[in-house]
Amino acid sequence: MSTVRAITAEAAARVDVHLMDPEKGGFKLEQLMELAGLSVAETAFQLVHERATVETGSRSGVVAVLCGPGNNGGDGLVAARHLTHFGLKPVVLVPKRVEREPFVGLMTQLRMLGVPSATLDDMDLILSDAVLVVDAVFGFSFKGQVRAPFDRVIKALKSHEHKTLSVDVPSGWDVEKGSTTADGFSPFALISLTAPKICSRQFKGRHFIGGRFVPLDEFNIDVPMYAGTQQSVEIANDSVV
């Protein structure tokens, strides 16, 4: 079986800087976020259809998307939009509003599409109802302690970890050390963007890779075996080295 090398938070940050350097990659943040969010949505769609078929025979269902204040949250907002076009019913939970771009635009796009935006007061009810929870709270730039109100969010995620898909890094995990408490949050699925981060070596659930937009050779990153025009691919959970 082929292996996939994990990268550090520092390497992931270097890739982003390179991609968005006008002289090097020439990308706008909005473009990268659009494609990252689309790969999250494709994965979420696949998981919903698998679970819905198994558990209820139905193909409908609410997807709760918890969005943090950084780029990981932005990926979640984009994913929620695409999920609507895919025929699902996302609800976004944004514990901390961010009044700068691209977040303002992403929220406007969801409003135009009629995607509900809920507050923390409704969080428990929405998470209980949801067929799938997308954890887009913290990504690879998260460091240190989880502060309010996100401590409450991660506690809620823990209660629903059996149906949670985390984006890039399970929220609250140290990007290199992983889960730092024995009874920590452990989502059933993870989508690593571009490449798995070091912490995912200890991840035991279903593991996907998304973000098919980086010239991987240039960064000495392993190329996952995407099929056809797919934006995400599942890898064996013991293949990360």
CA quadruple 127, 86, 195, 28: dihedral, nearest 10: -110
**Does 145 show up as a binding residue in the annotation?**
yes
- Chain positions 29 to 88 lying near a copy of itself, rule: CB under 8 A, are 30-31, 34-35, 38, 41-42, 45-46, 81-82, 85-86
Residue whose CB is less far from a copy of itself, 166 or 231: 231
C-alpha neighbours within 13 Å on the C-beta side of residue 158: 14
Task: Judge whether 139 is annotated as a binding position.
Answer: yes
Cβ-contact 152, 83 below 8 angstroms: no
Query: What are the angstrom distances between the C-alpha of 129 and each of 42, 91, 109, 185?
Result: 21, 11, 24, 20
Apex CA 155: angle with CA 101 and CA 191, to 5°? 55
Q: Beta 89-93 vs 62-67: how paired, if at all?
A: parallel
Output the CA–CA distances (angstroms, integers) from residue 87 to 16, 53, 62, 82, in the order listed: 31, 15, 10, 9
Q: Is 18 helix (H, G, I), strand (E, B) or coil?
A: helix
Query: For residues 67 and 135, what is the distance between their CA atoms, to the nearest angstrom?
Result: 7
213 near a copy of itself (CB under 8 A):
yes
**Among 2, 23, 54, 57, which residue sits at the site for a copy of itself (rule: CB under 8 A)?**
23
Q: How far is the CB of 85 from a copy of itself (least distance, A)?
A: 5
228 lies in the site for a copy of itself, by CB under 8 A: yes
Min CB(184)–a copy of itself separation in Å: 31
CB of 152 to a copy of itself, least distance (A): 29
Q: What is the three-class DSSP state of 178?
A: strand
Residue located via tokens 């098919």 = 212
Asked whether position 222 contacts a copy of itself by CB under 8 A, the answer is no
**Number of amino acids touching a copy of itself (CB under 8 A):** 39
Chain length of the chain:
241
**Per the annotation, does 57 bind a ligand?**
no
Interface stretch with a copy of itself, choices 101-109, 131-139, 140-148, 164-172 (CB under 8 A): 101-109
Give the residue numbers of the binding site for K(+).
72, 135, 171
- Chain residues that interact with a copy of itself, rule: CB under 8 A: 22-28, 30-31, 34-35, 38, 41-42, 45-46, 81-82, 85-86, 102, 104-109, 111-114, 212-213, 215, 218, 226, 228-229, 231
Give the residue numbers of the binding site.
71-75, 135, 139-145, 168, 171
